[in-house]
Homo-oligomer: A and B are copies of this chain.
């Protein structure tokens, strides 16, 4: 274990051993990082993974686990089972590309859950951080994925339920069952029952639509037998700001889903903008949702499941603003230059070349195009894959599979 740590003399010593394997450090245990780690030849490479959670989640099945169709364990794969040469539970906090060193914040929280959305204010962030340590790499694969997008809407982070990790699914499952038990209590009024059993889903992408369908099946096939007298209070509604849902799918597929939803009584409110979530003081455990299109009147729901897409991981944002000195990328230039990673202006993702190496551009004023061209090119030994990467020419593909 000590050999994986950054050590001034350690690297030099190791470098003299001719058959030393290259150390490949992978940041992230999601689809990109986990799949890559699994396919990496252990005879050729030292495989080190750094991730805040010690498992891979089969995300398309999360909606199923959230309603109990699937057992939680069925959608997890422990990273430790890969038999990697090292795994550190933590967040990559910063990367020193010149020293080939990653600063890692240990995740020592008790619930193993990853941060999948920004929960701490930037001003007080420093004090919230865990202990730090450093890990060196020969080759680095950035696969840190993305966070949930909340658009800064009031009350979303505090009151909405997300659906990105196994803990999220468990919370939703518990809450749905609890809402029915609350509604079944004899002192609950019919008005409260209507509020408790109003299930609001915000976001008409695959996750939101899938969850709405799974929840509907749970209610119709199972809960209707247990709580027949409560069925008349149940409402499932999907909200989306866009004019149609499932925009990444073929129009006929999306239309088929909508027709099915209409037949089954699931409401889909397109062109609706949620602007605030707050607790409903008149109904314990319920929330008031302010919808721009409804004016001052708020609707009440027992749960708000939030799935409006992704935002860039804070590490990627930090890295793309960072200036550092790198060896020249073309033989024409002899001396090291100050560069920064190239980020996609639209998504904020790291732009790579066709070998998935991250691109760097010189740190220069926009008025010097010639210098720019001379130094632009891939950063050797640093790769980006998955949600946090933007691969030229592969945009449509990544849109389909990672949205």
Interface residues of A (CB under 8 A from B): 1-2, 4-5, 54, 71-73, 80, 87-90, 106-112, 131-133, 135, 174-175, 177-178, 181-182, 184-187, 226, 229, 284-285
Contact = CB atoms under 8 A, between A and B. Distances in A.
Contacts of A88: 184-186
Contacts of A107: 181
Nearest to A135: B186
Contacts of A229: 1
Contact of A185 (B80, B133, B185, B284): B133
Contacts of A178: 108-112
A110 B2 contact: no
Given A178-B110, A178-B112, A226 B80 contact: yes
14 contacts: A87-B184, A88-B185, A89-B185, A106-B182, A107-B181, A108-B178, A108-B185, A108-B284, A108-B285, A110-B178, A110-B285, A112-B178, A132-B187, A133-B185
A301 to B, nearest CB: 15
A185 B50 CA distance: 11
Nearest to A130: B284
A205 to B, nearest CB: 26
B87 A174 contact: no
A54 B181 contact: yes
A182 B108 contact: yes
Contacts of A111: 174, 178
Contacts of A131: 185, 187
Nearest to A5: B186
Given A54-B177, A110-B178, 15 more contacts: A2-B186, A4-B186, A71-B73, A80-B226, A87-B184, A89-B181, A90-B185, A106-B182, A106-B187, A108-B178, A110-B174, A110-B285, A133-B186, A133-B187, A135-B186
A3 to B, nearest CB: 10
Contacts of A177: 54, 112
A230 to B, nearest CB: 9
Nearest to A3: B186
Contacts of A182: 89, 106, 108
Contacts of A4: 186
A218 to B, nearest CB: 13
Contacts of A110: 174-175, 178, 285
A31 to B, nearest CB: 22
A88 B174 CA distance: 17
A134 to B, nearest CB: 8
